[in-house]
């Protein structure tokens, strides 16, 4: 087990890459999908079940944990890994995005953001310094810079101003992070859908220097075509020897398209959130298990899937427990979705290593076109 943080690039196939991020708490195989554990739990999953799906790393949220139970309390109790019984790597988002999407009465200044908690209306402040301190108290292995993610659509001037503020905050985040061997600080590229602003942002981040680089400001309503358009150039502005993390993505075909464009890491609530609502992702497309047509169907969700939901239960059973609002419903479908997302990641890692990623992508898309699901 290493004491340092490092990234080993193992193979490339076109723009796609596969490698390993080495951390003191374990290795992260890339391309990697990070299940979201917002309030110190991946909802409806035991940590050992999350690991059983193949996840090497989880995402936690500064915004939620600072409000409840607070970073200081988690620190007093031994840190987030011990608190939630997940001893492998954790990446924490820095809170700015969640403040803008969840909190009330927000005030943005050069210093940072003040806001009212969506839980109890209490007043709080997040600055680059406070966000980095919270992530340190949590014991996060990969810390994200405190940034501002502008809502799209926005005019170019607004996007440029916001990006330059985020770059000043990236400088302050780096300063506040200090020297923490074995831990990493990732910068976040902004710039909306403007290629020159994206390049300016990447240059600013490279000058500061980070252990990894995120592409932020996407998956905010721009749609897949515009997102892929940005990913056709943005990753190339980033250092080739550091991990590239696309934040908040996404559906299976978003994930595949992002890896094909040079992305190494992603996170999204989709598999877990949809699992709780009865939406199952399968190799043949999406199955809404609450639909009446599944009520008598003895088949598994997906014949080719080895997860507990597909190995031990029929669609009829899954339909029943969702219709009856039984707790096991969200557990089984969350497990299936996370298992399927990790199966996609493993398939891509193997294909890139074998130089067959083109064929793998063709098969991935062909499967989805067919079959009654």
Ligand X SMILES: O=c1nc[nH]c2cc3[nH]c(NCCN4CCCCC4)nc3cc12
Binder among 13, 56, 147, 264 for ligand X (CB under 6 A): 147
Per-position x/- string for 185-204, each x denoting binding to ligand X as judged by CB under 6 A, each - no binding: ---x----------------
Structure tokens at 109: 């200044």
Q: Nearer to ligand X by C-beta: 139 or 217? A: 217
Q: Nearer to ligand X by C-beta: 28 or 218? A: 218
Q: Nearer to ligand X by C-beta: 27 or 161? A: 161
d(CA 353, CA 373): 31
Active-site residue, 236 included: no
Catalytic residue, chosen from 147, 264, 267, 302, is: 267
The answer to whether the beta carbons of residues 60 and 138 sit under 8 Å apart is: yes
The answer to whether the beta carbons of residues 131 and 95 sit under 8 Å apart is: yes
- Closest approach of Cβ 22 to ligand X, in Å? 24
Choices 83-91, 132-140, 205-213, 214-222; region in contact with ligand X by CB under 6 A: 214-222
Active-site residue, 267 included: yes
The answer to whether the beta carbons of residues 262 and 15 sit under 8 Å apart is: yes
Window 225 to 284, contacts with ligand X (CB under 6 A): 247-248, 268-270
Binding status of residue 220 toward ligand X by CB under 6 A: yes
Q: Nearer to ligand X by C-beta: 12 or 279? A: 279
Kindly report the length of the chain: 373
The answer to whether the beta carbons of residues 246 and 228 sit under 8 Å apart is: no
Choices 67-75, 212-220, 295-303, 313-321; region in contact with ligand X by CB under 6 A: 212-220
d(CA 128, CA 148): 10
Per-position x/- string for 65-104, each x denoting binding to ligand X as judged by CB under 6 A, each - no binding: ----------------------------x--xx-------
The answer to whether the beta carbons of residues 56 and 29 sit under 8 Å apart is: yes
Backbone angles phi, psi at 116, to 5 degrees: -105, 135
Catalytic residue, chosen from 56, 93, 264, 302, is: 93
Structure tokens at 79: 């840190």
Structure tokens at 91: 């990446």
d(CA 73, CA 65): 10
- Closest approach of Cβ 127 to ligand X, in Å? 15
The answer to whether the beta carbons of residues 184 and 211 sit under 8 Å apart is: yes
Conformation bin of residue 281: beta by default, left when phi > 0, alpha when psi is -120 to 50: beta
- Closest approach of Cβ 252 to ligand X, in Å? 13
Q: Catalytic amino acids?
A: 93, 267
Give residues in contact with ligand X (CB under 6 A).
93, 96-97, 147, 149, 188, 216-220, 247-248, 268-270
């Amino acid at each position: 087990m290493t004491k340092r943080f490092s990234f080993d690039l193992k193979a490339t196939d076109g723009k796609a890459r596969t490698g390993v991020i080495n951390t003191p708490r374990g290795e992260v195989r890339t391309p990697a999908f990070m299940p979201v554990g917002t309030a110190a739990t991946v909802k409806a999953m035991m940590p050992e079940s999350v690991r059983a799906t193949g996840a090497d790393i989880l995402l936690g949220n500064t915004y939620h944990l600072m409000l409840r139970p607070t970073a200081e309390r988690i620190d007093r109790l031994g840190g987030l890994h011990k608190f939630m019984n997940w001893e492998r790597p954790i990446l924490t988002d820095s809170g700015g995005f969640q403040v803008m999407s969840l909190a009330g009465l927000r005030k943005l200044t050069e210093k940072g953001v003040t806001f009212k908690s969506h839980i109890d209306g209490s007043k709080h402040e997040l600055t680059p310094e406070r966000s980095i301190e919270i992530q340190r108290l949590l014991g996060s292995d990969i810390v994200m810079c405190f940034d501002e993610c502008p809502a799209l659509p926005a005019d170019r001037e607004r996007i440029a101003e916001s990006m330059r503020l985020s770059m000043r905050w990236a400088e302050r985040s780096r300063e506040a992070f200090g020297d923490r061997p074995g831990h990493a600080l990732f910068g976040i590229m902004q710039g909306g859908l403007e290629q020159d602003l994206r390049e300016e942002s990447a240059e600013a981040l490279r000058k500061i220097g980070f252990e990894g680089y995120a592409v932020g400001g996407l998956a905010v309503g721009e749609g897949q075509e515009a997102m892929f358009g940005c990913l056709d150039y943005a990753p190339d502005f980033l250092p080739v020897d550091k991990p590239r993390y696309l934040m908040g993505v996404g559906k299976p075909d978003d994930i595949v398209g992002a890896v094909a464009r040079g992305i190494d890491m992603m996170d999204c609530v989709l598999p877990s959130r949809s699992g709780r609502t009865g939406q199952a992702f399968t190799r043949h497309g999406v199955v809404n298990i609450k639909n009446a047509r599944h009520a008598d169907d003895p088949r598994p969700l997906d014949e080719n899937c080895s997860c507990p939901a597909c190995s031990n239960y029929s669609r009829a059973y899954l339909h029943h427990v969702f219709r009856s609002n039984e707790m096991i419903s969200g557990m089984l479908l969350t497990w299936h979705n996370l298992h399927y997302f990790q199966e996609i990641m493993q398939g891509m890692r193997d294909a890139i290593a074998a130089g067959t990623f083109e064929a793998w992508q063709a098969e991935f898309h062909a499967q989805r076109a067919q079959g009654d699901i």
